[in-house]
Amino acid sequence: MSSPLLVGVHQPGDSWLHRCPTGVKLLGLAAFSLTVVLTRSAAAAPVFLGLALLAAAVGGVRLATLARATRAILVLAVMAAGFQWWIDGPAKAVETLVDLVALALAAITVSATTPVNAMLDTLVRAARPLRVVGVDPERVALTISLAIGALPGTLALALETRDAARARGLGRNPRVYLTPFVVRVVARAHEQGDALAARGLGD
């Protein structure tokens, strides 16, 4: 099973972007995203795309990773662009399409050059001031990492359940595979809760 979700996108490396503090990268991504969204100019769109590609090149992000991120956003971007062509004309449509691809590439570049644990450390530090209102930063970080980790696990469960239904010749009826799938996801959540408690996380 080599679905993109199961492999994860982080690529270990030693580029300038890899060594750049995670907080700086996240703030940079936020600033870049805001600039892209707020700048209403068709001429600026290719510049943003160029910047995103430059960042990806500096980070040494693999072409396959970039292609996958582009493909993932492309359906949505084409739909949005088609709608804008109809409302505002071709210039606006191209701007939207190129902007969305640039944002996706910038985001994947940050993900590819930042290990999840570094992201967690940054979040813990960022959430620290919230401690005064009773928020435990470690718990916030753990929740986010669980949500990220749950995706491939849940996908694997879905594929297994579908195969089991198929093996019994029960492929057609969604209830037949959705019911055991939901039951298994909940059971997995319980097991994972036990495992986290056993590792003393959240104590």
Partner 1 sequence: MPVLELESAGVSVATPAGPDGTGEKVLLHPTYLRLTQQRIGVVGANGSGKSTLARLLNGLVAPTTGRVLVDGLDVARRGAEVRRRVGFCFTDPAAQLVMPTCVEDVELSLRRLERDPARRRERALAVLAEHGLAAQAHQSVHDLSGGQRQLLALAGVLATDPAVVVADEPTTLLDLANSRRVGDLLMGLPQQLVLLTHDLDLAVRCDRVLVVADGRVVADADGPTGVAAYVDAVDRAAHDGHEGPA
Residues 8-47: x/- map of binding to partner 1 (CB under 8 A)?
A: x-x-x-----------------------------------
Is the alpha carbon torsion for 38, 113, 130, 200 positive or negative?
positive
Residue nearer to partner 1 on the CB measure, 7 or 24: 7
Q: From the CA atom positions of the chain, what is the Rg in Å?
A: 21
Given a contact cutoff of 8 angstroms between Cβ atoms, the answer to whether 42 and 99 are in contact is no
Q: Of 24-32, 52-60, 68-76, 116-124, which segment contacts partner 1 by CB under 8 A?
A: 116-124
User: What are the E-state strand segments in 9-96?
Assistant: none
Q: Of 25-33, 55-63, 98-106, 145-153, which segment contacts partner 1 by CB under 8 A?
A: 145-153
- Name the 3-class secondary structure at 12: coil
Q: Is 188 in the site for partner 1 (CB under 8 A)?
A: yes
Q: Is 198 in the site for partner 1 (CB under 8 A)?
A: yes
Residue nearer to partner 1 on the CB measure, 21 or 129: 21
Q: Is 138 in the site for partner 1 (CB under 8 A)?
A: yes
Q: Is 68 in the site for partner 1 (CB under 8 A)?
A: no
Residue 156's CB is within 10 A of a number of other CB atoms, namely 15
Residue 161 CB partners (closer than 8 Å, separation 6+):
177, 180, 181, 184
Residue 69 CB partners (closer than 8 Å, separation 6+):
104, 105, 107, 108
Residue nearer to partner 1 on the CB measure, 26 or 116: 116
Looking at residues 156 to 185 of the shown chain, list those that interact with partner 1 (rule: CB under 8 A): 156
Residue 63 CB partners (closer than 8 Å, separation 6+):
none
Distance CA 3, CA 164 (A): 19
Residue of 33, 68, 121, 127 that binds partner 1 (CB under 8 A): 121
Residues within the interface to partner 1 (CB under 8 A): 1, 6-8, 10, 12, 115-118, 121, 138, 145-146, 148-149, 152-153, 156, 188, 191-192, 194-201, 203
